[in-house]
Chains A and B, each alone.
Chain A
């Protein structure tokens, strides 16, 4: 009898905790795939962190082509997965459609804005982080030329480029910034060979620090920079470890933190629809410093970066956002 009671009691307790944690999260990644060592991987890490600490399984889907996004979102919604995280601006239209079809399910879109009573839009102030990347690139460069290589030519990536140029100019007013975009289709996120070729062309023209915002294409950029004895700057996730000593730093978007936070909010019932903008002030973006790049970053650079960060947060330095008017002052 006692045993029975105890069993019943424990069953009740576990039922109780199960109810408090009654979310069934799912993530639909962007084309780069969840192990792109960059953007998607940040979200993946956040999902895994959440799964480990909460014991709740996080379902995932990696689309192989554009048409699968909407199907994947709808499939997850139909199975009652809730919340559903859509990674990347490419999914905006799919989220808009599917979120309207399933008003009782919570959607999260990263890197784009979708209006809706059940959609949370997580945005990062890439221009602020890129500004710091440009600043450190200009301080490191001995040739007076730095490079930028973007993935697909879209306003979001232009925002990276624009912030980077402003930061570089702040570090060295006479700096020359070489810019390339990999392409104009989603394959531009997945072409490391082209990334390497673009990086080589910039190095041949004198660039000695190259910042990429190109997903998996950027692996080729960092490789080419390391091969030539120059510096690359990683993006989205901390990529300093890919080529220790040759990756100057990484412009990190705290995708893992953002993902975990929103999942925890959904679990705890504090999740809210609407726009959430993460900038330097919220620690949503920043530069990565660890043992892999300790030898190539001087204390003076760190000081300048910290100062710029304080100035931006305090509003003494305004970084222009390309997407506010689709143009860059420089």
Chain B
């Protein structure tokens, strides 16, 4: 039993850590796309968030200003996207890709100009990072056979942002399904003309969706740079924004299913790390690359219609033009 726990607990702990940035970014994509704005710029917004968080934390020596800066920087970039897509009615995918390219170049350039370390920020001291939290009573429960360890190292022992991300799932579900704002937001992504007829501004709703997405992306970026990592490095998001996009699609644009998909991707990653180099009977060396490609593969299979159907919000990707 304890041996099983020895293997299982670290894997599950790693699953939570690895799933958190995906979850935050996928929820970001959810809000944006539910409002009718396709967001392939998750990666770029996370990247500026990561850079802003690491740079601010390095200068102030404190992690919270870093998160605020990350959110601000991500929102700034998000508003560029929103202005291009909503006000100017440009192509949302092109704008999103532009965001990614701008972010990649801008962060490396600014980091070089400000810190002179070739696109990195200084390594962060403990105070400027999110550290794992010890839950109250973990010591007292340590003697309880199985639960004590689960409580101390799986439920506890995570950084604050992990809890925040998990908390945001029911919050998002509630906002989208039960509040007036959420219903209007979804209507803007399904049938904007109806929203317009009801006398509600489609543009304002869509701006709000993109803004919420930007805030979440900023937090996701801050998590990567100041909780998982300890400083910014060029292109350090390394494709997590795209995986989050895949998670959102596989999750069918629903918070609960997105959570499950993100946890699945996190679990796959955690397992792949541990199985690397292991020799399986009959197969030989464990094919890690296959597992790393699985999120993309699953998404393609889903989009191709082989398992279930991916139904995006009906008006997502289409600029709204008022009829005369």
Contact = CB atoms under 8 A, between A and B. Distances in A.
Which of A37, A191, A198, A205 is the most central at the interface, judged by chain B CB atoms within 10 Å of its CB?
A191
Interface stretch (A74-82, A92-100, A178-186, A276-284): A178-186
B274 interface: yes
- Judged by DSSP, the binding face of B is loop
A193 B123 CA distance: 13
A216 B238 CA distance: 13
B238 A242 contact: no
B119 interface: yes
Contact of B233 (A41, A200, A204, A216): A216
Contacts of A179: 276-277
B197 interface: no
B236 interface: yes
A223 interface: yes
A187 B240 CA distance: 12
Contacts of B233: 190, 192, 216, 219
Contact of A193 (B10, B238, B276): B238
A25 interface: no
Interface stretch (B165-173, B177-185, B224-232, B248-256): B224-232
Interface in B94-127: 117-120, 123
Interface string A181-218: 10110010011111011101100110000000000100
B37 interface: no
A33 B238 contact: no
Nearest to B232: A192
A35 B233 CA distance: 10
A34 interface: yes
B287 to A, nearest CB: 11
B273 A184 contact: no
Contacts, number: 75
A220 B118 contact: no
Contacts of A191: 236, 238
Given A36-B118, A180-B277, A197-B14, A187 B228 contact: no
B19 to A, nearest CB: 12
Given A187-B235, A187-B238, A204 B117 contact: no
A193 B269 CA distance: 12
B236 A193 contact: yes
Interface string B246-279: 0000000000000000000000011001101100
A33 B119 contact: yes
22 contacts: A33-B118, A33-B234, A35-B120, A62-B118, A184-B289, A190-B234, A190-B235, A191-B238, A192-B229, A193-B229, A193-B236, A193-B238, A194-B238, A200-B14, A201-B10, A201-B270, A205-B10, A216-B120, A219-B231, A220-B230, A223-B229, A242-B123
A58 to B, nearest CB: 15
Interface of A: 33-37, 41, 62, 179-181, 183-184, 187, 190-194, 196-198, 200-201, 204-205, 216, 219-220, 223, 242
B277 A183 contact: no
Contacts of B14: 197, 200-201
A198 B231 contact: no
A181 B235 contact: no
A197 B120 contact: no
B10 A35 contact: no
Given A33-B118, A223-B229, A180 B276 contact: yes
A228 to B, nearest CB: 11
**8 A-B pairs closest in CB distance:** A35-B118, A204-B10, A191-B238, A193-B228, A223-B230, A193-B229, A201-B273, A33-B118
Nearest to B111: A35
Contacts of B120: 35, 37, 216, 219
B87 interface: no
B229 A220 contact: yes
A306 B96 CA distance: 56
A187 B288 CA distance: 16
B292 interface: yes
B17 interface: yes
A143 to B, nearest CB: 14
Given A35-B119, A36-B118, A197 B273 contact: yes
Nearest to B50: A193
Given A33-B118, A201-B14, A180 B292 contact: no
B239 interface: yes
Contacts of B18: 197
Nearest to B269: A197
Nearest to A161: B277
B118 A201 contact: no
A192 B273 contact: no
A219 B232 CA distance: 11
B52 to A, nearest CB: 17
B15 to A, nearest CB: 11
Given A183-B292, A196-B229, A197-B228, 16 more contacts: A33-B118, A35-B117, A36-B118, A41-B118, A180-B277, A190-B238, A191-B236, A192-B233, A193-B224, A194-B238, A196-B228, A201-B273, A220-B229, A223-B123, A223-B229, A242-B123
B198 to A, nearest CB: 45
Interface centre among A34, A181, A184, A220 (most CB of B within 10 A): A220
Nearest to B227: A193
B108 to A, nearest CB: 8
Nearest to B115: A35
A219 B231 CA distance: 9
A23 B158 CA distance: 56
Contacts of A204: 10
Contacts of B274: 201, 205
A180 B273 contact: yes
Nearest to A206: B6
A187 B119 contact: no
A133 to B, nearest CB: 19
